[in-house]
Amino acid sequence: MISKIESLGTGTGKIVYSTNDCQDILRLSKAEILELFKSSGVVLFRGFGVTPIQMKAFSEKFSYSYLKDPTKTSIDSVDFVNSVDNGMGASPAHTEHGANPLQPDVIWFCCQTPAQEGGETLFWDGVQLWKEMSKHLKQLFVEKKLKFTFEDVPLDMVNQWIDGGETIDDCKQVLDQFEDFSYQINEDSTFSLKYLRSAVVKTKYGNEDAFANFAWTSHARGWEIFEDGSKFTEQVVDELQKLYDKFTQEISWQAGDLAMIDNSRFMHGRREFKDNRRQLFTTIAKILD
Ligand SMILES: [Fe+2]
């Protein structure tokens, strides 16, 4: 039973606190949590002292079809749980696996140790960003799809990325099912992948338009942004930066916190940190309705 809830940030997010009656996160009502998640999109569980193992166990009440992340370090003792502390720099807004046709519905974060200073996880409500965006920007993102290309990707990485299987034929079968997706297999058996997707998506709950995508990270990495090979103009960068700055919300971590974020609606990122004590873990998956 949830008995103590507060707002998280300035939007729809919520904090669920442990109480004397319930300090074990695994005893919370699945139905109540799911309803809260559907309406708020970001739920932070505080005071439950959640470990990465408990995060995985709790997430299994709601999630299936976990994805691996070849760019992160996994904890060997818990399947599909990764450390997100590769590097200490700021991370720009993105949906998790936003360049992957199998984008997960939910991303879970569990904080074992917060950074001494900085390292907050940031989040942005894509529905709010889309509503507040200028007509000019909206038109741009409606007219042009985002493009993601990856060259010389080894088979095992493709397999992890799309849960495709261990052989080229296994992966081909999965890749062939994706819309707006093309690929080529190179002479050395690596893959060249190209994926087009809209920057504006429908939320999983409520079917609302949301500006929730990987474009700001593509920009930060110097990648081409749009299907025609173009990048953001200075004016677009300026407008987007103002929009992101204005609507940034944050999770200031405490040890044992667990967060559950709707990846179809919210983007996340992080502030930089300078000490090496931060230990944050994540798992990503589809969600049971
Ligand atoms: Fe991320």
Q: Tens digits of per-residue pLDDT, 176-206?
A: 999 999 999 999 999 999 999 999 999 999 9
pLDDT tens-digit readout, 45-75: 999 999 999 999 999 998 878 877 777 777 7
Taking the centre of ligand 1 as the mean of its atom positions, its distance from the CA of residue 20, in whole angstroms, is: 33
pLDDT tens for each residue of the chain, 289 residues long? 677 999 998 999 999 999 888 899 999 999 999 999 999 999 999 999 999 999 999 999 988 788 777 777 777 666 778 878 678 999 999 999 999 999 999 999 999 999 999 999 999 999 999 999 999 999 999 999 999 999 999 999 998 888 888 899 999 999 999 999 999 999 999 999 999 999 999 999 999 999 999 999 999 999 999 999 999 999 999 999 999 999 999 999 999 999 999 999 999 999 999 988 999 999 998 887 7
Q: Which amino acid is at 195?
A: Y
Q: What domains are defined for the chain?
A: 5-126+250-287 (3.60.130.10), 132-245 (no CATH)
Ligand 1 centroid–CA 92 distance in Å is 9
Cα(72) to ligand 1 centroid in Å equals 10
Report the C-alpha gap between 127 and 212 in whole angstroms. 8
CA of residue 65 to ligand 1 center, whole Å: 18
Q: How far is the CA of 109 from the centre of ligand 1 (A)?
A: 10
